[in-house]
Structure 1
Amino acid sequence: MPHIEMEDGVEVFVRDVGEGDPIVFLHGWPLNHRMFEYQFNHLLDDGFRCIGIDLRGYGKSDKPYGDYSYDQFADDVKGVLEALDIERTTLAGFSMGGGTATHYMSRHDEAYVDKLALLAAASPVITEKPDFPEGLTESEVNPLIEGARTDRAKMNADFSELLFHTDQSEEMLHWIWHLGMEAAGQATVASAETWRDADLRPDLDDITVPTRVYHGVHDEITPIEITGEVLAEGIENAELVRFQNSGHGVTADETERLNEELADFAGQ
């Protein structure tokens, strides 16, 4: 079932391949499930079942004009897991997908999920709040949103270059750009406003499953000091795994190590 219909009629694209213990991947902004290509390749060979979801507005999913809140994304994840009827899942969320994952765990009582993997997660808070002055300022984030409104092609090119700490080929950067351009413009803007403004700290108290927080120490988009370390401290059963040679794009900066860490964790 490459597409699964949600309660509001929106069809969400799902790639479901392999057998064995399932790992469900939630992509980051403004990409889609294909960003995990090099995780799928390794984990399928290791005997896992890999399930990639294109969040609404992205990739091959429907792109309605409307709600791109964490509530909506979490409800869509619930709809997919319910339709697939799988148990003991490892839920792996990257960046905005990490925010979706932590919110899902609270909003839907950890349904179907046995383990949680957070990859450079945009959670629980990105921008500063009265009681969280460590966050980024809105003036640091807003140029991405304004760029998505006025010149999304250039914004995606600039964003692609921000992702990585290690050198990546021009072809890799162009591929990342292409994934971003597959998203709907309104979804790109609206969901960026979601992760900019969200405060998911209350959700952390509801997460009880074993959790791994994988985060690059050179991350400039979701700095480890305001996201990864906060997640590890706020989730009772969490462990922070630092990637010393990674920026935000840990999936490509340290692909082999990340794949080994995910296989070890999901296979426990």
Structure 2
Amino acid sequence: MPHVTVEDDTEVFVRDLGAGDPIVFLHGWPLNHRMFEYQYHRLLDEGFRCVGIDLRGYGKSDKPYGDYGYDRFADDVRAVLDDLDLEGVTLAGFSMGGGIATRYMSRHDEARVDGLALLAAASPVITEKPDFPEGLDEAAVNPLIEGARTDRAKMNADFGETLFHTDQSDEMMDWIWSLGMEASGQATVASARTWRDADLRSDMDDITVPTKVYHGSHDEVTPIEITGEVLADGIETAELIRFENSGHGLVADETERLNEELVSFAD
């Protein structure tokens, strides 16, 4: 199981599968790269190389106490892409991973990336700002943080119930819960504060590669009106693709459609 050592000697786990044009996946909070299992199946069959990163604090990566800001995450992604010497990457970020991808494109001048796929992205702004009253009230987010501090198992179960628009099996929900429980508690709390407070609007101006914004119309976590539509308007090269039968978890709500879209975009 390969790891990449990043700048502060943290070991970041990387699942590198297949050959061909690379698609690099950045998972959402509080999960890990395994959430993309049903994307890997199809994309590998289509001849793509799938690279899944467990962000620091999550999955099989090291879980240091400390910084879980977007700059740190973006620098870790750069270290992985450099270590694997990837070129022509399609960078696919889901939820918090979409925020990390947005920051990466600006902070690292789109290095090694030829296409950007933002899936239900927690970007560019989630909560209210003085000049963005459309955002969510922090009071809607803070219970997740407090829950992670006091009863993370219950918080993960409750959060899982908000992810999907279509019915999922009990076994699927148990699996999603188990992925969240692989994270460290401190990373779960600290990175939730990151995506709660971030303002990535200025980063959008630096994105020039072809960009697809895939977003569920019924998303209750990152509502399309304050995220997907704003990204599509703010990134000159972006196209918004609405998933009319999806909530936040479009990877499971409309798996086959999303897979078709990714195959077409990354080809």
Q: Secondary structure at the match of 1:205?
A: helix
In structure 1, the partner of 2:164 is 164
Q: Does 1:34 align with 2:34?
A: yes
The TM-score with structure 2 as length reference comes to 1.00
- What residue in structure 1 maps to residue 216 of structure 2? 216
Following superposition, which runs of at least 4 residues in structure 1 exceed 3 angstroms of deviation? none
Residue number in structure 2 paired with 1:126: 126
CA-CA distance at 1:26 after TM superposition: 0.1
Please name the residue that 1:95 is paired with: 95
Could you tell me how far 1:87 is from its partner in structure 2? 0.6
CA offsets, 1:155-209, max 9 Å, x none?
A: 0000111100000000000000000000000000000000000000000000000
In 2, Cα distance between equivalents of 1:51 and 1:135: 32
Alpha-carbon distance in structure 2 between the residues aligned to 1:72 and 1:41: 30
Aligned partner of 2:21 in structure 1 is 21
Measure, in 1, the Cα distance between the counterparts of 2:95 and 2:52: 15
Output the amino acid matched with 2:190.
Answer: A
User: Structure 2: which 5+ runs fail to align?
Assistant: none
Which amino acid is the alignment partner of residue 105 of structure 2? Answer: M
> TM-score w.r.t. structure 1 length?
0.99
Q: In the aligned structure 2, how far is the partner of 1:24 from the partner of 1:30?
A: 18
Distance 1:94 1:38 in 2: 14
Rounded Cα–Cα distance in structure 2 between residues aligned with 1:266 and 1:6:
27
> Take 1:78 and 1:236, find their aligned partners in 2: how far apart are those partners?
23
Q: Confirm whether residue 175 of structure 1 aligns to residue 175 of structure 2.
A: yes
Aligned residue for 1:16, secondary structure, equals strand
Q: CA deviation at 1:7?
A: 1.3
Alignment-derived partner of residue 108 in structure 1: 108
- For the residues of structure 2 that align with 1:73 and 1:196, how far apart are their CA atoms? 15
- What is the CA RMSD across the aligned residues, in angstroms? 0.5
Secondary structure, in 3 states, of the residue corresponding to 2:206?
coil
Q: Secondary structure at the match of 1:122?
A: coil
Q: What percentage of aligned pairs have identical amino acids?
A: 81
The one-letter code of the counterpart of 1:113 is: V
Give secondary structure in 2 for the equivalent of 1:80: helix
Cα distance in 1 between the residues matched to 2:195 and 2:257: 27
CA deviation vs aligned residue, 1:39-83 (integer Å, no higher than 9, x gap): 000100011000000000000000000000000000000000000
Corresponding position of 1:82: 82
Find the counterpart in structure 2 of residue 205 from structure 1. 205
Secondary structure of 2:81 counterpart: helix
How many residues of Structure 1 are paired with residues of Structure 2 in the alignment? 267
Q: Which residue of 2 aligns with 1:65?
A: 65
CA apart distance, 1:214:
0.1
For 1:258, the equivalent position in structure 2 comes to 258
